[in-house]
Amino acid sequence: SQKIEQNSEALNIQEGKTATLTCNYTNYSPAYLQWYRQDPGRGPVFLLLIRENEKEKRKERLKVTFDTTLKQSLFHITASQPADSATYLCALRTSYSSASKIIFGSGTRLSIRP
């Protein structure tokens, strides 16, 4: 069956360290993968998109990698801050077709302690 899994429900990190979140998928060949941040009681906010032919994307303190052989994406936050505490969702788009959907993982709740 098709699955997208974020294998940590929760992650606790000391401020200043790098937080690494994992997203694995099975039985999909995604066109691209996206990462979102969601704060409690709010809608998800788009962070980064990485395509199937890209290995790595960066945006300020954020870095995303995409390994289509391992069927895995890693999301890194360097120099983490308490304000980075939130739930992070990975999502994949199944194809470039306008009819394709975004499938979400269950999310990882990240807590950065001072």
Partner 1 sequence: GAVVSQHPSWVICKSGTSVKIECRSLDFQATTMFWYRQFPKQSLMLMATSNEGSKATYEQGVEKDKFLINHASLTLSTLTVTSAHPEDSSFYICSARDMGLAGTDTQYFGPGTRLTVL
Q: CA-CA distance, 44 to 88, in Å (whole number)?
A: 9
| Residue whose CB is less far from partner 1, 44 or 84 | 44
Judge contact between 109 and 11, C-beta under 8 A: yes
| Residue whose CB is less far from partner 1, 13 or 49 | 49
Judge contact between 72 and 23, C-beta under 8 A: yes
The answer to whether residue 1 forms part of the interface with partner 1 (CB under 8 A) is no
Q: Tell me how far CA of residue 7 lies from CA of 55, 56, 58, 73, 108, in angstroms.
A: 21, 20, 22, 11, 8
Kindly write out the interface string for residues 25-64 of this chain, putting x where it contacts partner 1 by CB under 8 A and - elsewhere: ------xx-x-x----xxxxxx--x-x-------------
Least CB distance from residue 71 to partner 1, whole Å?
Answer: 19
- Maximum pairwise Cα distance, the chain: 44
The answer to whether residue 69 forms part of the interface with partner 1 (CB under 8 A) is no
| Residue whose CB is less far from partner 1, 34 or 65 | 34
Rule CB under 8 A: choose which of 89, 92, 110, 112 binds partner 1. Answer: 89
